[in-house]
């Protein structure tokens, strides 16, 4: 095997070569101390190369293997904890660098970030397969089937549902499942806000210096702009949205030249577009452009078969969150929870379970652990019988 | 000033690089500004984030000095009013002495810097 001439090796700009690699690289001496790291590993671990230099690599890479079987049989999938306290799934491979006699001089540890792969796997395995949305009723199963198809399209989508039915979660799921998932998801609440502020928030504004403060459409880039409660938008801004949907451009407040925007629009409302048009809260031309396709989220009282499933779902989440060994409900508490009509929908049910797990000191949640207002509501009809 | 009970997860006599993987911990009572005791070493048969948090709370620990710690665990301990000095890379005794001297802070790297062969 012909060796690379030493003068050629000496002339190489090794740091620049390492910085050009997409995965993290740590160059280690024979004792496993860091000689240098490339910029990808700096970003992954949060340690600069100056901080890492001379430090045993286990204190920089901090993988799940460092304290178990290092040097490991490589490559291996594990996880690291970076300086920002994030646990990141990674694949680590090691390459020994030897001289002509076979003596190991250095070791290169390659660290690949597997976050995107794991994220995709998790999304595919989630109940219902999508975001935080769960439900076993036919209505929810239909929505969970529709979502991936709608996500693939770039057309605007209207999400309709009462408060607490999960409109925000659906909008986010539409973004995460779409080809735009790597781009920003920008949410704008169209609720009470001065029209000038809302205009700047949506479309940006021109500063006295001439610089433009970016609005939601500029911040989203090729991602998604989600307008919550779109019927609350003033008429003039609704007209600007129509212009965006027709021409694909937005005009910042105080600017003269419109700018192209590739963002996708998702809007939500508690009422159907036709009803809002009749009530004079939504322009017909905007309703025509936003109204289809639409996702109508059923209130919880129309899908009671989901209540038990959701109770178990949130119980598992909050037991883990509060580190409590709460595993179920007493029969009486279960009956009370199933009898409630949940005007606040899934959000209310979630809050009830969160509170109950928080105050419960036994393995099963008893009626005494349920919020007092819920018990009072449930007791009222019984008392009048 | 009252004594503070300090917990340091250990690995090879160093502050363990990962809080959740430490198989033993050092627990020492420290009076800030004075020489600290050697402390006691407690084995952790099945290391885990939850197990170590429970151990810290069960032993009435005031301060955890550690390397990498996950966000959730960090905030849980803070919520339980345990001070956490994380991202510390050092020999355990060095970290403890620095803490006793009042000069240890999160992010301290206390290994002597070696000459690098690569820029």
pLDDT score at A176: 85
pLDDT score at B3: 87
Smallest Cα distance from A67 to chain B, Å:
7
pLDDT score at A139: 84
Q: Is the pLDDT of residue B71 over 90?
A: yes
**According to the 3-state scheme, what is the secondary structure of chain A?**
CCCCCHHHHHHCCHHHHHHCCCCEEEEECCCCEEEEECHHHHHHHCCCHHHHCCCECHHHHCECCCCCCCCCCCCEEEEEECCCCCEEEEEEEEEEEECCCCCEEEEEEEEEECHHHHHHHHHHHCHHHCCCCCCCCHHHHHHHHHHHHHHHCCCCEEEEECCCCCHHHHHHHHHHCCCCCCCCEEEEECCCCCHHHHHHHHHCEECCCCCEECCHHHHHCCCEEEEECHHHCCHHHHHHHHHHHHHCEECCECCCCCEECCCEEEEEECCCHHHHHHCCCCCHHHHHHHCCCEEEECCHHHCCHHHHHHHHHHHHHHHHHCCCCCCEECHHHHHHHHHCCCCCHHHHHHHHHHHHHHHCCCCEECHHHCCHHHHHHHHHHHHHC
Q: For residue B23, which residues of chain A lie inside 8 Å, CB to CB?
A: 67
Average pLDDT over residues A340-353: 90
Q: For residue B71, which residues of chain A lie inside 8 Å, CB to CB?
A: 84-86
Residue with tokens 């009048």: A384
Q: Is the pLDDT of residue A253 over 50?
A: yes
- Summarize pLDDT for A87-126 with one digit per residue, the tens: 999 999 888 888 878 888 888 999 999 887 777 666 655 5
In this prediction, the answer to ipTM > 0.85 reads yes
Residue A294 confidence class, pLDDT cut points 50, 70, 90: confident
Q: Does residue B58 belong to the interface with chain A, where contact is any CB pair within 8 Å? A: no
pLDDT score at A291: 73
Q: Is the pLDDT of residue B18 over 70?
A: yes
Residue A81 confidence class, pLDDT cut points 50, 70, 90: very high
Smallest Cα distance from B109 to chain A, Å:
7
Q: Is the pLDDT of residue A336 over 90?
A: no
Question: Residue B81 corresponds to which tokens in the numbers above?
Answer: 């009013």
pLDDT score at A123: 60
Average pLDDT over residues A271-283: 88
Nearest to B111 among A14, A29, A55 (CB): A55
pLDDT score at A209: 82
Distance CA A107, CA B92 (A): 27
If one compares A61 and A127, the residue with the highest pLDDT of the two is A61
Q: Is the pLDDT of residue A378 over 90?
A: no
A185 touches A224 (CB < 8 A):
yes
Q: Does residue B44 belong to the interface with chain A, where contact is any CB pair within 8 Å? A: no
pLDDT score at B111: 86
Q: Does residue B105 belong to the interface with chain A, where contact is any CB pair within 8 Å? A: no
Nearest to A67 among B21, B53, B87 (CB): B21
- Return mean pLDDT, chain A: 85
Q: For residue A14, which residues of chain B lie inside 8 Å, CB to CB?
A: 118-119
- Note whether B18 contacts A86, CB cutoff 8 Å: no
Q: Is the pTM of this model over 0.80?
A: no
pLDDT-above-70 percentage for chain A: 92
- Note whether A81 contacts B68, CB cutoff 8 Å: yes
pLDDT score at B80: 92
pLDDT score at B8: 96
Average pLDDT over residues A143-170: 88
Q: Is the pLDDT of residue A263 over 60?
A: yes
Q: Is the pLDDT of residue A142 over 70?
A: yes
- Return mean pLDDT, chain B: 89
Q: Does residue B34 belong to the interface with chain A, where contact is any CB pair within 8 Å? A: no
Smallest Cα distance from A163 to chain B, Å:
29
Best residue in B87, B88, B105, B106 for a mutation probing chain A (most A CBs within 10 Å): B87
Closest-CA residue of chain A to B67: A59
Give the range with max mean pLDDT: A9-23, A106-120, A176-190, B74-88.
Answer: B74-88
- Summarize pLDDT for A22-61 with one digit per residue, the tens: 899 999 998 889 999 999 999 999 999 999 999 999 999 9
Average pLDDT over residues A357-366: 90
Give the range with max mean pLDDT: A286-295, B5-14, B43-52.
Answer: B5-14
Closest CA relative to residue B22, chosen from B82, B75, B73: B73
Q: A57-61, A140-144, B99-103: lowest mean pLDDT where? A: A140-144
Q: H-helix or E-strand containing B15?
A: strand B14-15
Q: Is the pLDDT of residue B116 over 50?
A: no
pLDDT score at A226: 94
Residue B14 confidence class, pLDDT cut points 50, 70, 90: very high
């Amino acid at each position: 095997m012909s060796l690379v001439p030493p003068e050629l090796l000496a002339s190489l700009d090794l740091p620049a070569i390492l910085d050009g690699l997409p995965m993290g690289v740590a160059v280690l001496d024979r004792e496993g101390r860091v000689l240098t790291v490339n910029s990808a590993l700096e970003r992954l671990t949060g340690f600069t190369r100056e901080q890492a230099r001379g430090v045993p690599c286990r204190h920089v890479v901090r993988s799940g293997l460092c304290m178990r079987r290092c040097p490991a049989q490589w490559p291996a999938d594990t996880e690291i904890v970076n300086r920002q306290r994030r646990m990141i799934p990674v694949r680590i491979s090691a390459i020994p660098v030897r001289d002509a006699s076979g003596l190991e001089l250095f070791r290169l540890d390659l660290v690949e970030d597997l976050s995107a792969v794991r994220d995709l796997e998790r999304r595919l395995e989630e109940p219902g397969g999508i975001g935080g949305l769960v439900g076993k009723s036919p209505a929810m199963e239909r929505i969970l089937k529709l979502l991936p198809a709608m996500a693939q399209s770039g057309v605007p989508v209207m999400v309709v549902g009462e408060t607490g039915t999960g409109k925000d979660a659906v909008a986010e799921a539409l973004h995460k499942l779409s080809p735009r998932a790597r781009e920003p998801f920008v949410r704008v609440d169209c609720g009470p806000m001065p029209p000038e502020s809302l205009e700047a928030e949506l479309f940006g504004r021109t500063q006295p210096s001439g610089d433009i403060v970016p609005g939601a459409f500029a911040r989203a880039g090729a991602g998604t702009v989600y307008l919550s409660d779109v019927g609350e938008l003033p008429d003039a801004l609704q007209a600007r949205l129509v212009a965006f949907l027709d021409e694909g451009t937005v005009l910042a407040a105080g600017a003269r030249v419109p700018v192209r925007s590739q963002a996708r629009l998702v809007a939500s409302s508690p009422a159907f577009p036709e009803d809002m048009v009749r009530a004079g809260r939504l322009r017909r031309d905007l309703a025509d452009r936003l109204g289809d396709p639409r996702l109508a989220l059923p209130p919880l009282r129309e899908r009671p078969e989901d209540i038990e499933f959701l109770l178990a779902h949130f119980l598992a989440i909050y037991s883990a969150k509060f580190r409590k060994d709460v595993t179920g409900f007493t029969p009486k508490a279960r009956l009370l929870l199933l009898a409630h009509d949940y005007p606040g929908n899934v959000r209310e049910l979630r809050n009830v379970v969160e509170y109950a797990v928080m105050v419960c000191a036994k393995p099963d949640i008893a009626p005494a652990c349920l919020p007092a207002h819920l018990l009072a509501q449930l007791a009222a009809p019984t008392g009048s019988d | 000033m009252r004594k503070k009970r300090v917990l340091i997860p250990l690995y090879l006599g160093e502050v363990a690089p990962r809080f959740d993987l430490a198989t033993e911990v050092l627990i020492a009572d420290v009076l800030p500004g004075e020489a600290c005791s050697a402390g006691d070493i407690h084995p952790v048969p099945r290391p885990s984030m939850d197990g170590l948090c429970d151990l810290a709370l069960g032993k009435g620990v005031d301060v955890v000095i550690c390397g990498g710690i996950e966000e959730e665990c960090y905030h849980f301990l803070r919520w339980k009013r345990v001070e956490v000095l994380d991202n510390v890379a050092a020999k355990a005794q060095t970290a403890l002495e620095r803490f006793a001297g009042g000069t240890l802070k999160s992010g301290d790297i206390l290994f002597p810097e070696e000459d690098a062969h690569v820029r």
